[in-house]
Structure 1
Amino acid sequence: MEACAEGGAMTVRSRSGKGGSAGAGSPAHVGGEYSGGRRSQWGVRLVASAIVITTAAAAGCAPWEEGEPSQASKRGNIATVASLETGDEHIRKADGTSLLRIDDLPRDIQVDEQNAFGATARFREAKVSPDDAWVAVVTTGAAHSAGWLVRADGSKASPAAFQYGGSVTIGPWSADGRHVVFAQEGPAGNRTLTVVDRDALGASVEASAIPVRGDSHGDLDSQAQRYEALGWANGRLLFRVGGEQGVFDPASRDVKSE
């Protein structure tokens, strides 16, 4: 267990066989007897834990990203997301009301100005932004998968990601909730990353998506082109591809090797 850990929104998957299984991790239960020697041992453990926490604080253990929400707000956000239910045809809020229906989305996702593909037969995944203002959503069709950004009140849905003949999954949100990562897995085994800025959404995936490309991308075969989003730091995405780590700045769209 690390002394400092990156917090984030929790993924909620469909409960049906088609869409995956819904689930949210629960805190580990700490049990044991509180009599005799057990009580003394427990007291020693508490003292040891206090020493570890004090040492971590003295070492200047910093949050993963500047402006990251407090632990209290993270717990509140996780509770909100954990109660979000994603099914094949509905995404529901904590109170059971519908946030989004599959029929609220276009049957086809607009990939660019000329092309649209069917990828909205059912919901697959949803992840709320840290400020609870937006929801990243993944839908699937017969063969394709799509990503969307939707306002938390369900008032607006924008195309954000697409994978022809493959799958889309949701990566980490930035701590301020402005950017989110989508990962596209292609039929050849490659995996690419797309960053979407909720403040610069367009009418198509091409207009909204910012592709992440490492410096060595063109030198890798399809099997080695497997990008992994590691998290956000200071507004930049940390990622790994081909055994190397890189940093992507969505503002400048520059990629630097670490």
Structure 2
Amino acid sequence: MTFRLPTPDLRPLPSDIPMPLDRLQRLQTWLVRLLLAILILLAVVVAVNVHQGRLTRRIISRRLGQLVTLPGLHRYQVAVIAGHRGFDSGAVCDDGLMEVMVNEPVAELVAEALRKEGVGVDVLDEYDPMLDGLEVDALVSIHADSCVDLSGFKVTSGEETVIPEQDAQLVQCLKTKYAAITGLPVHPNTETSDMYGYHAFQRVTDNTPGAIIEIGFIGGDRALLTEHADVVAQGVAQGILCFLDREKIEPTPDG
């Protein structure tokens, strides 16, 4: 018995039926066009929201940081000094409460809040060796006032500065946000020479904006400082974020 293989049909396919490769090329072209259209739409949405004030650089950076995580890479770098830590106790009240015991927890909570916003933070001791030649986007030293029965906070920058506008903006952001969040008033005209001539301002680079804040009186504001350190820390953290985000803050009457 003889078997004969069927003769293949060599007739050309009709021209209106695309080949598989042609289909793939058309699909790729369509997908590229769709992607470009989506990117253009996103760019328009972002531009409109930025123009209307609903999006800021910090918010955009944070959202991008949530999409792409690069360990050790931050849009901003901040240094927070836990006042008196590693050096002495600071003010000491009759019942033994020491200023450093108030400053350190607040400083750590400030750092935690900033890190959640994608900001790199170092919490430093009072005379930390890292201060020498340090260059960061903002330096804030956290202290508390004495044990007397008064209430209020104060913020200032250094007297000698080559970036007075940036320092003033940092101070104003801290004043505005801290007062709004904690409810404490500014204790006016009580900044001391130790604050204006704070040693850390002389140790960091000239182009590092710096401020020192006394977050309240250990006497009159003790309940807030010790029982609601998270609120205190949010006030400081939001002040720093205000500065990093270049929010427009008008000077208050007290300066």
Q: TM-score, length-normalised on structure 2?
A: 0.29
Q: Which has the higher contact order (CA 8 A, sep 6+)?
A: 2
Higher strand share: 1
Instruction: Select the structure of larger CA radius of gyration.
Output: 2
Structure holding more helix per residue: 2
